[in-house]
Amino acid sequence: MEHEVLLDIQHVSKSFGLTQALKDVSFQVKQGEIRGIIGENGSGKSTISNIIAGIYGKDEGVIRLNGKELRAATAVEAEAEGIALIVQEIGTIGDISVASNIFLGNEKRFVSKGFINHREMNREAKKALEMIGVSSIAPEDRTDRYNLEERKMIEIAKAFYTHPRLMIVDETANALSSHGRGILYAAIEEVKKYGGTVLFITHDLEELIKICDSVTILRDGVYIDTCYGSDMRINELKVKMVGREMSDHYYRSDVEGSMGEQVVMRVENVFTSMLKNVSLELHEGEILGLGGLSDCGMHELGRLMFGLDQPYAGKVTCTGTDQGLKSPVQAIKRGIGYVSKNRDTEAVILQDSVKNNVCLCSLDKISKLGFASPVQENRFADQWIQKLKVKVNNRGEYVASLSGGNKQKVVLAKWLGRGSRILIFDCPTRGIDIGVKEAIYHLMEELKEQGHAILLISEELPELIGMSDRILIMKDGKIVCETMRGPEITESLLIKEMI
């Protein structure tokens, strides 16, 4: 039984208006197989996942599960067929409880005498969380009091609890720290063990090779190939994905770091509920890396440096003023840009065009005598759409309709376009494909050369080591280690400081 085909996709096509997201895609996945799906941003990975999970309909083709045609028209119907999807963006509702999210659409089983028995539902939700080894999330809490990673844990618990025949994991690992990834990988292994199938979407090819038995490559909505086991070689996969040879090295090539004399931003003895007496200086012409485990306080420090949160004590200042930073508006005026890890709720206006999002922070730059001409705005937007290869039909398209990685590119374009003197990047390449990652790293180098200061908050150690002039490691709300760029810096060295 073990090696029978579970998922059979035949000639599936799907268009959104002018965009043909999938073109005659066919492939099969066996029971007990962990199949990776890779492709550049906008190649159709989320679209095929959403179709299988009943969220989108398909235009053409047939999908069979265990030989039976799958006709699920809603997520709940797909779930009843044994399909669980962990979506790329946030998949939980903020203003309801954790337990309500875990049993969304399935509340019926807790109804007695016409009422939902919440105590029973909470108890079961706790069990679901414990099944994946999470005990720090309370089922009765409102979901939006938890951060992105914790909310992803809730989704993993929800998916795993249903004991799915097919579990689809869309880019989730990207939002997780190494601890969170461990939990996800363990759940995936468990599904494989009982003979279930997993589709695993990622841009991290090293992770993919570790986790997956096989990988399917999509390019521009077209099926390219499937590789198995030892045939999954990073360089060849890259070529299949991108359609051209890729250089091996996309990080900086200089061995020693450098930075300007002038300090452009200072954090002095800052305390918050998370941060304990944190101080740092950011120099012009410097890429300062900030790393640590997800709850070490680095994301909170990034928010503070953009004026999104206020410290109880201590202050954050920029050159030219002793006044502590009070708000994001003030931060923008002082030349600070910020790319949030949580792009959907903090970084873009989904129900507005790509053009308006890109131009939003730069209107004063684009306009002359207080008036922005549409021609100049269009030119500005097009320039950045091209530079970061944002996949859109036209600049008027809404950000909501872009693929995940393309949304991230819009956020980056917004701040890079403004040419902010100080850039705070929290996981800037999250969900971005390798082709464009390279372009973003080159842009960061260019900005550094021009004297901009960049704070690079990252959970990816190769990125931190590869791009930073100096690295700070945080642990439990404190900076515990500072090292300069150099050939002796290794991942294991940094990990030792983190844990």
Ligand X SMILES: Nc1ncnc2c1ncn2[C@@H]1O[C@H](COP(=O)(O)OP(=O)(O)OP(=O)(O)O)[C@@H](O)[C@H]1O
SS (H, E, C) 17-67: CCEEEEEEEEEEEECCCEEEEECCCCCCHHHHHHHHCCCCCCCEEEEEECC
Give me the residues that bind ligand X (CB under 6 A), please.
16, 19, 21, 39, 41-47, 88, 391, 401-406, 431
Of 19, 46, 172, 353, which one interacts with Mg ion (CB under 5 A)? 46
Residue nearest to Mg ion (CB): 46
Q: How far apart are CA 179 and CA 296, in angstroms?
A: 12
User: Least distance in Å: CB of 393 to ligand X?
Assistant: 8
User: Least distance in Å: CB of 49 to ligand X?
Assistant: 8
Which of Mg ion, ligand X, none has residue 97 at its interface (CB below 5 to 8 Å by kind)? none
Site for Mg ion in 70-89 (CB under 5 A): 88
Contacting residues for 469 by C-beta, under 8 A, at least 6 apart: 257, 258, 259, 286, 287, 288, 448, 484, 485
Residues 411-427: b if buried by 16+ CB within 10 A, e if exposed: bbbbbbbbebbbbbbbb
Of 196, 289, 311, 404, which one interacts with Mg ion (CB under 5 A)? 404
Residue 303 buriedness (CB in 10 A; 0-12 / 13-18 / 19+):
buried
Nearer to ligand X, 390 or 416 (CB): 390
Nearer to ligand X, 324 or 435 (CB): 435
Q: How far apart are CA 33 and CA 205, in angstroms?
A: 18
User: Least distance in Å: CB of 174 to ligand X?
Assistant: 10
Strand pairing partners for 398?
353
Nearer to ligand X, 46 or 100 (CB): 46
User: Least distance in Å: CB of 431 to ligand X?
Assistant: 6
User: Least distance in Å: CB of 21 to Mg ion?
Assistant: 10
DSSP state of 353: B
Nearest to 408 by CA among 451, 376, 439: 439
Which of ligand X, Mg ion, none has residue 91 at its interface (CB below 5 to 8 Å by kind)? none
Q: How far apart are CA 331 and CA 328, in angstroms?
A: 5
Which of ligand X, Mg ion, none has residue 297 at its interface (CB below 5 to 8 Å by kind)? none
Which of ligand X, Mg ion, none has residue 43 at its interface (CB below 5 to 8 Å by kind)? ligand X
Site for Mg ion in 271-330 (CB under 5 A): none
Nearer to ligand X, 161 or 441 (CB): 441
* Residue 111: both structure tokens together: 């109804």
* Residue 350: both structure tokens together: 């989904």
Residue 174 engages Mg ion in binding (rule: CB under 5 A) = no
Residue nearest to ligand X (CB): 405
- Whole-angstrom CA distances from 284 to 254, 261, 266, 328 are 18, 7, 12, 21
DSSP state of 137: S
Residue 197 engages Mg ion in binding (rule: CB under 5 A) = no
Strand pairing partners for 22?
14
Residue 58: what residue type?
A: K
**Choices 110-118, 240-248, 257-265, 404-412; region in contact with Mg ion by CB under 5 A:** 404-412
User: Least distance in Å: CB of 40 to ligand X?
Assistant: 7
Residue 221 engages Mg ion in binding (rule: CB under 5 A) = no
**Choices 43-51, 71-79, 152-160, 188-196; region in contact with Mg ion by CB under 5 A:** 43-51
For tokens 């949160």, the residue is 309
For tokens 């939006």, the residue is 144
User: Least distance in Å: CB of 105 to ligand X?
Assistant: 21
Nearer to ligand X, 262 or 386 (CB): 386
Nearer to ligand X, 192 or 409 (CB): 409
User: Least distance in Å: CB of 205 to Mg ion?
Assistant: 16
Which of ligand X, Mg ion, none has residue 21 at its interface (CB below 5 to 8 Å by kind)? ligand X
Nearer to ligand X, 126 or 391 (CB): 391
Do residues 481 and 472 lie in contact, with contact meaning Cβ atoms separated by under 8 Å? Answer: yes
User: Least distance in Å: CB of 203 to ligand X?
Assistant: 7
Instruction: Determine phi and psi for 41, rounding to 5 degrees.
Output: -60, 130
Residues that bind Mg ion (CB under 5 A): 45-46, 88, 403-404
